[in-house]
Structure 1
């Protein structure tokens, strides 16, 4: 029912006011399928890469991010495709 291998890697680098962060996660394919009703929804290993760029200036931090950068499509549950690529932007003010 569960994957045998689950791993997360979250490297980051900061160069002055700019930071680059990444999250890479993998989960191996299930060793044994339980009931599979829909043959087109093959469950495969998960390989997802998320990245963020942050820029800090005084008390303000701007962030741009991309989830599922590689646009890897996978199913963990039949008929439910997991997260597609999406973009985010944020602005934080610390006072």
Structure 2
């Protein structure tokens, strides 16, 4: 049975509120990992980031976890990060 989110959770960080919600609902990162087919460490890492892939976000919401307790759903393209303009200018100037 899923318990509602209590208003007194507002003083907690999102991560603390998530852990409390999981505890109150009898879920662990191990159990969620088993359900998603990943390791408990993977679930923990996903839940402690600022964002998580939309596919994993949807899977966790499907498990009954309130979306507001999860990191923002966002797909980030793999590969090198864009350089800042100064670095691009300096590299073009040198080369």
TM over 0.5: no
Larger Rg: 2
TM-score range, shorter chain: under 0.3
Higher relative strand content: 1
TM-score of the two chains, using structure 2 as the length reference: 0.23
Higher relative helix content: 2
TM-score of the two chains, using structure 1 as the length reference: 0.23
